[in-house]
A = this chain, B = another copy of it.
Amino acid sequence: MRGGPPHTRELLRICGLAAVQAVVDCDPGRVERLFFEARLKPAVGQFCRALGQAHKPFREVDAAELARVAGTVLHGGIVAITRPQPLLPFDPAAARRWAQQRKLLVILDGVGNPHNLGAVARSAAFFGVAALLLADRPDQALPSDASYRVAEGGLERLTLYRVRLPAALRLLKRDYRVLGTDAVRGDPPPPIGDRPAALILGSEEHGLARATLAACDAVVRIPGSGQVQSLNVAAAAAILLYLLARP
């Protein structure tokens, strides 16, 4: 038996109160174990009651042990050992329902840095995006410990899909304005249109794949001063989601 990809086999270490709060709120059954420092005791009573009812262990530990459990000192005093979020095959019917609610989608086409994945997820959840679609290519980051830490709960608020590009874009275009991004070519960010946007962000080094760019309804570029080559992909995502999500 091959087993699934690493993403579906391994347990995640979700660090930080906001990220742990989000998994307990959204999908408490995924939490397997919880560790926290004494200073967070007042904040975790509700989590511990829920875990106790599910016969799952929770434990107060010192900072050194928590760093060992977390694999980082950037644990914010709490770590939940958690089964990963499901990474679903693309569902055009769900996408159509979200379009009717005028919800945005975000598509990542080769964003390789797991911190950037987490940062995009945090902004996407902040602006009410429904789902995050991850391109099925080897250089696309999948949610990792670092992604969850940076997302501060944002990943839990999004439905996650794995999609084949550009095939999925042809289906999405019935209901969404498919907006590619490019650091060099492209038009200024457009006003909000009739269809909600499906915003595609590309690799930190190479941008969107050529076939993805060709399948977009429009390609946008954020104009800058020229003093640095480009915006970080998560900064570009924040700006474009702000512009596209405004009521």
Contact check: which of B18, B157, B227, B242 meets A125 at CB < 8 Å?
A: B227
Which residues from B are CB-within-8-Å of A22? 228
Binds B, one of A36-44, A52-60, A194-202, A229-237: A229-237
Contact check: which of B153, B222, B235, B242 meets A228 at CB < 8 Å?
A: B153
A122-B231, A232-B122 known; A127-B238 Cβ under 8 A: no
A232 and B125: CB pair below 8 A?
no
A224 and B127: CB pair below 8 A?
yes
| Interface flag for A101 (CB, 8 Å) | no
Measured CA separation A232–B124 after assembly (Å):
11
| Interface flag for A106 (CB, 8 Å) | no
**A137 smallest CB distance to B (angstroms):** 21
Across the interface, name the chain B residue whose C-beta is closest to A237.
B235
| Interface flag for A73 (CB, 8 Å) | no
Across the interface, name the chain B residue whose C-beta is closest to A239.
B242
Which residues from B are CB-within-8-Å of A150? 232
Interface size on A, residues (CB 8 A): 31
* Interface 1/0 per residue, A25-48 and B, CB below 8 Å: 000000000000000000000000
B123 and A232: CB pair below 8 A?
yes
Which residues from B are CB-within-8-Å of A239? 238-239, 242
A126 and B238: CB pair below 8 A?
no
A238-B231, A239-B238 known; A225-B127 Cβ under 8 A: yes
Across the interface, name the chain B residue whose C-beta is closest to A19.
B228
| Interface flag for A152 (CB, 8 Å) | yes
| Interface flag for A166 (CB, 8 Å) | no
| Interface flag for A219 (CB, 8 Å) | no
Measured CA separation A242–B18 after assembly (Å):
27
| CB-based closest 3 A-B pairs | A128-B225, A235-B238, A126-B224
A-B contact pairs, 28 of them (CB 8 A): A18-B228, A18-B229, A119-B234, A122-B231, A122-B235, A123-B231, A125-B225, A125-B227, A125-B228, A126-B224, A126-B225, A126-B227, A126-B228, A126-B235, A127-B225, A128-B225, A152-B228, A152-B232, A153-B228, A154-B227, A154-B228, A157-B227, A157-B228, A232-B234, A234-B234, A234-B235, A235-B235, A235-B238
Known A119-B235, A128-B224; 4 more pairs at CB < 8 Å: A115-B115, A126-B224, A127-B225, A234-B235
